[in-house]
Amino acid sequence: MGKTFIFLGILIFCAHLFSAIFSKRRVPDVLFLVGIGILIGPVLGWVTPDMIGGIGSIFASVTLVFILVDSGLDMHIDDLRRYWSGMLQVTFFSFIITMAVTSVLAHYLAMIEWRTSILLGSMVAGTGAAIVIPMVKQMKVSDKTRTVLSLESALSAVLCIVVAWALMEGFKMGRIRFEFIVGNVLASFFMALLLGVVGGMVWSGSLQRVRRLQNSMFLTPAFVFVIYGIAEALGYSGAIAALAFGIVLGNASYFEFSFLRMVLRKRPPRMLSLESGEKGFFKEMVFILKTFFFVYIGISIPFTDGVALLYGLVIAAAIFVARMILIFIVGQNNTPTDRWIVSIMMPKGLASAVLASIPRQINIAAGYDIIPHAERIECIVYSIIFFSIVLCSALVLLSRKYIINTDYHPELNQQEVYDYE
């Protein structure tokens, strides 16, 4: 037990060191943290995914909630209105192209049947918010780039989960209903958005009273967990709900609608944003949680199937090339730096990891292989996650030397164009 606490303390110190290295040398801290996870997991065998069990997925979800709320707090409504259409273009086309490239390679390279290949493609078609958002925040990019990438990672996770679930239900029923997929995507997004906005407004209006309570700092995360849990329990996207909640708290003045006075027939409670100390608490929690999250990813990567690792490497590289071509086409009016950053921010994350294990669980519950190649799917998806993170991190490091000017000028940042229209 004592050694465990020593390791945890050293890990937190190392995380601060890695973050400083990222800030000065642009060597992503993600590489170091995932490497530590690989070392204590697959290499030395000190920790295995079985030891962590179900706690791992819960911990990953908690990390995602904090990251999304923190990201929402830093977003501005004006930026969202300006770049919403561009973000939808990037998200939709990137999802389709990534899914298509992965499906084709899985079919012809790994010799997996078409239906299963398409399912595999849907699992990795999005980007990982728990990876993209912290990395982008540490990089010297425009607010526009940061906003588009953050929103894309949250929305693409919804698409991954809903489309993959619908395809797996299609395996069970013997046919795939595309109208069912589209309906679920729209319902999951808009209902989660509504739940997050309403929850954020309620909490923002209650903050004045909540702050009178002792030890109230943890009450905001607790309320977010309730909103996230309700969304997930209803079959909607908890990630979108958490992001919307953060956006409302970060832009409380925009949500003080005059019609509330008509409905309530009295002056509504003043809507407040989080104070600097409360925002600082979220950022500290994000730092600690994402440190352990990346180590957890390293522990969870299976290195038992060398062929699956090779497939994952090829697919991750192909995804990057396809995304780079896409961004070059739809983002011709943007600066080369912005196009490059958006191109390389394609790492896969929590949603892909969770979805990868479900086909095997479905087969075990049924007693026969409803979904063919379930174990191979899991290995390939984890391999894609690993290599997409490594490739993204390596390209960020390469960008420092060849592409990105490390001298950051806020006045130039305001002049950069980021319209994918």
Domain boundaries, the chain: 54-413
Task: Look at residue 315 and tell me whether its pLDDT is greater than 70.
Answer: yes
State which CATH number among 1.20.1530.20, 2.60.40.10, 3.30.70.20, 1.20.58.340 fits the domain covering 54-413: 1.20.1530.20
DSSP state of 216: G
- pLDDT score of 54: 66
- pLDDT score of 371: 86
Task: Look at residue 104 and tell me whether its pLDDT is greater than 90.
Answer: yes
Query: What contacts 121, CB < 8 A, 6 or more positions away?
Result: 98, 99, 100, 101, 102, 103, 106
Tokens at residue 74, please?
A: 């830093």
Task: Look at residue 256 and tell me whether its pLDDT is greater than 70.
Answer: no
Tokens at residue 257, please?
A: 């609608």
- pLDDT score of 131: 82
- Per-residue pLDDT, averaged over 253-273, amounts to 61
Task: Look at residue 333 and tell me whether its pLDDT is greater than 60.
Answer: yes
Average pLDDT, the chain: 81
For residue 144, the Cα-to-chain-centroid distance in whole angstroms is 18
* Band (182; pLDDT cuts 50, 70, 90): confident
- pLDDT score of 1: 65
- Per-residue pLDDT, averaged over 82-111, amounts to 89
Q: CB pairs under 8 A, 24+ apart, for 285-290?
A: 285/66, 285/221, 286/63, 286/66, 286/67, 286/70, 286/134, 287/15, 287/19, 288/12, 288/15, 289/59, 289/62, 289/63, 289/66, 289/67, 290/63, 290/67, 290/130, 290/134
Task: Look at residue 111 and tell me whether its pLDDT is greater than 70.
Answer: yes
- pLDDT score of 265: 52
Task: Look at residue 57 and tell me whether its pLDDT is greater than 90.
Answer: no
For residue 240, the Cα-to-chain-centroid distance in whole angstroms is 10
- pLDDT score of 338: 81
Task: Look at residue 416 and tell me whether its pLDDT is greater than 80.
Answer: no
Per-residue burial over 31-44, b if 16 or more Cβ lie within 10 Å, else e, is bbbbebbbebbbee
Q: What percent of the chain has pLDDT above 90?
A: 17
- pLDDT score of 387: 92
- pLDDT score of 352: 87
Tokens at residue 347, please?
A: 């790492």
Nearest to 151 by CA among 400, 345, 373: 345
- Per-residue pLDDT, averaged over 120-134, amounts to 87
pLDDT in tens, 287-304: 888 888 888 888 877 777
* Band (407; pLDDT cuts 50, 70, 90): very low
- pLDDT score of 268: 57
Task: Look at residue 257 and tell me whether its pLDDT is greater than 50.
Answer: yes
Task: Look at residue 144 and tell me whether its pLDDT is greater than 50.
Answer: yes
18-22, 24-28, 86-90, 288-292: least confident range: 24-28
* Band (418; pLDDT cuts 50, 70, 90): very low
CA dihedral 347→349→351→353, nearest 10 degrees, is 120
Better-scored residue on pLDDT, 192 or 412: 192
- pLDDT score of 312: 92
DSSP character string of 403-421: T------HHHHTT------
pTM value? 0.76
- pLDDT score of 380: 92
- pLDDT score of 105: 95
259-268, 275-284, 392-401: least confident range: 259-268
Task: Look at residue 130 and tell me whether its pLDDT is greater than 60.
Answer: yes
116-125, 308-317, 399-408: least confident range: 399-408
* Band (175; pLDDT cuts 50, 70, 90): low
pLDDT in tens, 379-390: 899 899 989 988
- pLDDT score of 267: 56
